[in-house]
Amino acid sequence: MSKSRPDNGNGNNDKNNHEIASKPDTLNLIELKKKDINSLIKIAREYDIENANSMRGQELLFALLQAQTRRKGIIYGAGVLEALPDGFGFLRAPDYNYLPGPDDIYVSPSQIRRFNLRTGDTVAGQIRPPKESERYYALLKVEEINFSDPNKAFEKILFDNLTPLHPEEHLHLERKDNDLT
pTM assigned to the model: 0.69
Average pLDDT over residues 153-163: 83
Contact yes or no for 5/151 (Cβ under 8 A):
yes
35-91: pLDDT as tens digits: 888 888 898 888 888 888 888 887 888 888 888 888 888 889 999 999 999 999 999
pLDDT at 10 over 50: no
Distance CA(119)–CA(90), nearest Å, equals 9
Q: Are strands 122-128 and 137-145 parallel, antiparallel or unpaired?
A: antiparallel
Q: At what angle do helices 37-46 and 57-70 cross, to 10 degrees?
A: 20
pLDDT at 20 over 70: no
101-132: pLDDT as tens digits: 878 999 999 999 999 899 999 999 999 888 88
pLDDT at 19 over 80: no
Residue (of 39, 14, 18) closest to 28 by Cα position:
18
The confidence band for 179, taking pLDDT boundaries of 50, 70 and 90, is low
- Greater model confidence, 173 or 42: 42
pLDDT at 136 over 60: yes
- At 34 the pLDDT is 85
Q: Cβ–Cβ contacts within 10 Å for residue 76, how many?
A: 21
- At 5 the pLDDT is 43
Domains parsed from the chain with CATH numbers: 17-155 (2.40.50.140)
- At 180 the pLDDT is 65
